[in-house]
Amino acid sequence: MKKIIGLALLSLVFLVLAACSGSEPPTVETEPEAEVLLKTAVKESFVAGELLVKFKEPSKVKSVLSASGIKLSLKEDVYEASGMWLFKFDARLVKNDLSAMQDLARLVSKLPELSYAQPNYIYYSQAAFNPNDPLFPEQWNMEAIEMPLAWGNYTRGSRVNVAVIDTGKTDHNDLIWSTGIDMIRDAGNANDFNGRDTDPTDTICPFTLSSNGHGTHVAGIIAAQTNNRQHIAGINESVRLIPVRVLGSCFGTGTTADVLAGMRWAAGDPIRGLPRNTNPAKILNLSLGLNLGRGNSCEADDPAMRDTINALADRDIITVVAAGNEGIDAATTTPASCTRAITVGSFNKNGDLSSFSNFGSVVDIYGPGGDNDAKIKSTFPGFFGPTTADLMGTSMAAPHVTGVISLMLSFDPTYNDPDAIAFLLRFHSAIHTPMPSGACPTSCGGGKLNAAALLHELSF
């Protein structure tokens, strides 16, 4: 009698679910593109419409089900001798979240014929790769975005071209540079006294002026050679690193015209008097910003930057920009407020908003940028040869995002729409690795960068 009652109850469970669900599953109004992106932005923890069920009497599973008339599809035996079976049902009958599935499993587990039931969970590989670079243990930033898991679980594919729009390059034994350009028109500001040319070398300044070497530091975060027993580990050593020098003097300053020309050259566009870039960049990193001493915005004050970013985005070229270091809403700065740029704020070693970082709804995601107590270690020029330096700023946060995007493009070259990537970064981080509650005076925008989780999304 108990068996008959139990089987009837199991049938009733699914009849009730069917009745509650109606003939069609509930729908959510979304834009078509957003609907597709949301599916990739949520990390799955179980297989919808499947239950693992363990029967107390393994030998009688099929006969019991046959006699009961239960409308479940027997998908496979997990281990028949133990009575463990995998069943499939109409996934629309249960709300597609973990809590609802666990509630269903608990209800089914009460049946006298069963030892238990549970969702068919999704496990993730936990391999980690810790490089042998001697200063890697000091790179808290790589652990903070789960780079060891990303390196251990995902194989790089095609090579991705990344342009560092910055102070140029310096020779460094932990960096492999590709052909670049010096786009600084004014010979005095260039500090090399020859204006625009094909030599993007960063000029030598007193060591105390840390703006010299800024581009080298940024480049190291993206692409320092990894596991080579030298200095540090970069996020993606296989990128083609293109130095574009637009910031000159010893203070790292440059004009709008030079920055925009550098962006265009990096993208493969012709610039009068200069050879064309034969390896157009797919990603541009701009660890720079405009400070007018008052609130300014991309739309109102810098339409030239807006139009350039938009034109490149239309060609599937991604522009990653620093949110700025004024501790204000990034909506009042540029290029951080440019709609189609990927804007990056900074978090510190504790996972909080860095004391200097801009914030707000225009910030798509936050990367490690350090703070006074723990800065970001990366490649740097020194008086006596290549070395490293510890710097902080959203200038350091942005290249973390650039490096991870380069891994994403390497892993899946077809996933290259800048707007789609910005959407994924913003909503994935906001859902899975949000900034701490109250971290930002207003909205934080996106959440914190997690390389392993983002690459996992692309693996489905």
Structure confidence by residue, pLDDT tens digits, 451-460? 999 998 887 6
- CA 144 to CA 397: how far, in whole Å? 12
Mean pLDDT of 344-349: 98
Place of tokens 């995902």: 154
Q: Give the active site residue among 166, 174, 301, 371.
A: 166
DSSP class of residue 391 equals E
**Shortest CA distance to 319 belongs to which of 388, 397, 399?**
399
Please determine, for residue 211, whether its predicted confidence score (pLDDT) is greater than 70: no
Mean pLDDT of the chain: 81
Please determine, for residue 292, whether its predicted confidence score (pLDDT) is greater than 60: yes
Higher pLDDT, 313 or 36: 313
**Shortest CA distance to 346 belongs to which of 235, 452, 435, 226?**
435
Please determine, for residue 67, whether its predicted confidence score (pLDDT) is greater than 90: no
What is residue 329's predicted lDDT score, i.e. its pLDDT?
Answer: 95
Report pLDDT digits (tens) over 218-275. Answer: 999 999 999 888 899 999 999 999 999 988 877 778 889 889 999 999 999 999 899 9
Cα→Cα distances 58→61, 82, 108, Å: 6, 6, 17
Report pLDDT digits (tens) over 427-450. Answer: 999 999 999 999 999 899 999 999
Q: Give the active site residue among 211, 357, 395, 410.
A: 395
Please determine, for residue 103, whether its predicted confidence score (pLDDT) is greater than 90: no
Please determine, for residue 306, whether its predicted confidence score (pLDDT) is greater than 90: yes
Q: Give, rounded to a whole angstrom, the gap between the first and last alpha carbons of the chain.
A: 46
Higher pLDDT, 422 or 209: 422
- For residue 322, list its beta bridge partners: 344
pTM (2 d.p.): 0.75
What is residue 134's predicted lDDT score, i.e. its pLDDT?
Answer: 87
What is residue 77's predicted lDDT score, i.e. its pLDDT?
Answer: 58
The CB-side HSE value for 326 (13 A sphere, CA atoms) comes to: 20
What is residue 3's predicted lDDT score, i.e. its pLDDT?
Answer: 42
Higher pLDDT, 97 or 27: 97
**Shortest CA distance to 87 belongs to which of 112, 67, 114, 110?**
114
346 an active-site residue? no
User: At a CB cut-off of 8 Å and minimum separation 6, what does 223 contact?
Assistant: 162, 175, 176, 234, 235, 236, 237, 238, 239, 241, 403, 406
pLDDT > 70 fraction of the chain, expressed in percent and rounded: 77
Q: Give the active site residue among 172, 214, 231, 456.
A: 214
DSSP class of residue 58 equals G
Mean pLDDT of 351-376: 97
DSSP class of residue 202 equals P
What is residue 76's predicted lDDT score, i.e. its pLDDT?
Answer: 59
Mean pLDDT of 322-334: 94
Residues 431 and 447 sit within 8 Å (Cβ to Cβ)? yes
Per-residue pLDDT band for 127 (boundaries 50, 70, 90) equals low
395 an active-site residue? yes
User: At a CB cut-off of 8 Å and minimum separation 6, what does 80 contact?
Assistant: 58, 61
> Which stretch of 49-63, 228-242, 275-289, 348-362 has the lowest confidence by average pLDDT?
49-63
Residues 220 and 212 sit within 8 Å (Cβ to Cβ)? no
Structure token pair of residue 181: 């350009």
- CA 318 to CA 286: how far, in whole Å? 11
Report pLDDT digits (tens) over 377-400. Answer: 999 988 778 899 999 999 999 999
- The full set of domains in the chain, from first to last, is 2-121 (3.30.70.80), 136-458 (3.40.50.200)
What is residue 457's predicted lDDT score, i.e. its pLDDT?
Answer: 85
What is residue 21's predicted lDDT score, i.e. its pLDDT?
Answer: 40
What is residue 209's predicted lDDT score, i.e. its pLDDT?
Answer: 47
What is residue 193's predicted lDDT score, i.e. its pLDDT?
Answer: 64
In terms of average pLDDT, the best of 23-37, 46-60, 179-193, 266-280 is: 266-280
pLDDT > 90 fraction of the chain, expressed in percent and rounded: 48
Per-residue pLDDT band for 157 (boundaries 50, 70, 90) equals confident
What is residue 330's predicted lDDT score, i.e. its pLDDT?
Answer: 95
316 an active-site residue? no
